[in-house]
A and B are shown apart, each in its own frame.
Chain A
Amino acid sequence: GPKVLQIPSHQIIDMGQMVTLNCDPVSNHLYFYWYKQILGQQMEFLVNFYNGKVMEKSKLFKDQFSVERPDGSYFTLKIQPTALEDSAVYFCASSLAWTGGSQNTLYFGAGTRLSVL
C-alpha cells in the first residue's frame, strides 16, 4: 500500500539546538500531519498542513515548532530551540483529501524518535 517515509528513524540532539524531522509523504497526497507520542502515552495530534499553510494546530504545537513543505519535497517539522520535553516519537501522516469516504484515510510513517539530551 501507500508508504510514508520518515528520515531518520532516530535522532539525538543537545537541548537548545535546532532539529528538522523529514517526512516523504505519499506522492499524490495533499494534506499533511504531525503527531507526537511521548513514551508510555498516546499519540497526539500536533498540526495539519495544506497548500503551504497550517490549517489547525493543537496546544502541543509550541511557538518553537514550525512546518513547511518547500517545492513539494519533504514535509518537515522544525524545532528551534529544542527542549528536554520535546523528546518523543514524531509521526508524520498524509491523506489525499480532507473529508469524505476513504480519501481522508491517514497514512502514517514509522516515526522518528527524537532524544533531546
Chain B
Amino acid sequence: GDSVTQTEGQVTVSESKSLIINCTYSTTSIAYPNLFWYVRYPGEGLQLLLKVITAGQKGSSRGFEATYNKETTSFHLQKASVQESDSAVYYCALGLGGSNYKLTFGKGTLLTVTP
C-alpha cells in the first residue's frame, strides 16, 4: 500500500529561525505521485499550502518551499525564517495520478513558533 511518513509530534522553532519538516513517501502504484503540503491553523480546516506533480520541481507558497525528489522519495518542507503566525499543524500528503481526491496523509507535525 501507500504511506507517508513525516516528522512526528511537535517542532518548536524560535521566530526568524529556519524550519525543516521531513516527509518521505512510499507507494506500490505505477501511477505518478503528486505531493502536497496542507496546513491547519487552530480552529480552521486544512488548507492547501503547496503541491508539486512533477519530479524534480519545487513548490513554494508563503515563504515555504518543498522539492519533489523522486530518488529519495522525499518532499521536505522548508522555510528560511519562520514567524509566529506560522504556528499550525502541517500535513504531508500523497496523491496518485488522477486520484488526487484519495490522499494518503502523514500524521501531521505541530509547529510552534516562539517569540
Q: Given A42-B4, A99-B100, do A111 and B45 touch, yes or no (CB 8 Å)?
A: yes
Assess whether A43 is interfacial by the CB under 8 Å rule.
yes
Given that A98-B101, A99-B100, A104-B100 are contacting pairs, would A42 and B107 also be in contact in the complex, using a CB cutoff of 8 Å? yes
- Count residues of chain B with CB under 8 A from any CB of chain A: 21
Query: Within residues 63 to 106 of chain A, which ones have a CB less than 8 A from any CB in chain B?
Result: 91, 93, 95, 98-99, 104-106
Knowing A41-B107, A42-B106, A42-B107, the reply to whether A48 touches B45 (Cβ < 8 A) is: no
Nearest chain B CB to A17 CB, angstrom units: 27
Chain A residue total in the interface (Cβ 8 A): 28
Task: Tell whether A95 pairs with B101 under 8 Å between CB atoms, given A3-B45, A43-B91, A106-B48.
Answer: yes
Q: Main secondary structure on chain B at its contact with chain A?
A: strand
In the complex, chain B residues 87-108 whose Cβ is within 8 Å of any chain A Cβ: 91, 98, 100-108
Contact: A104 with B101, CB < 8 Å?
yes
**B44 at the binding interface (Cβ < 8 Å):** yes
**A109 CB to closest chain B CB, in angstroms?**
5
Q: Does A116 contact B (CB under 8 A)?
A: no
Q: Does B80 count as interface, using CB distance less than 8 angstroms?
A: no
A13 at the interface (CB under 8 A from B): no
Which A residues are CB-close (under 8 A) to B105? 42-44
Question: Within 8 Å of chain B (Cβ to Cβ): is A4?
Answer: yes
Within 8 A of A (CB), among B1-56: 4, 38, 40, 43-48, 51
Beyond A99-B98, A110-B45, list 8 extra A-B contacts (CB 8 Å).
A41-B107, A42-B4, A42-B105, A43-B105, A48-B101, A107-B48, A109-B45, A110-B40
Give A residues with C-beta under 8 Å from B. 1, 3-4, 6, 31, 33, 40-45, 48, 56, 58, 91, 93, 95, 98-99, 104-111
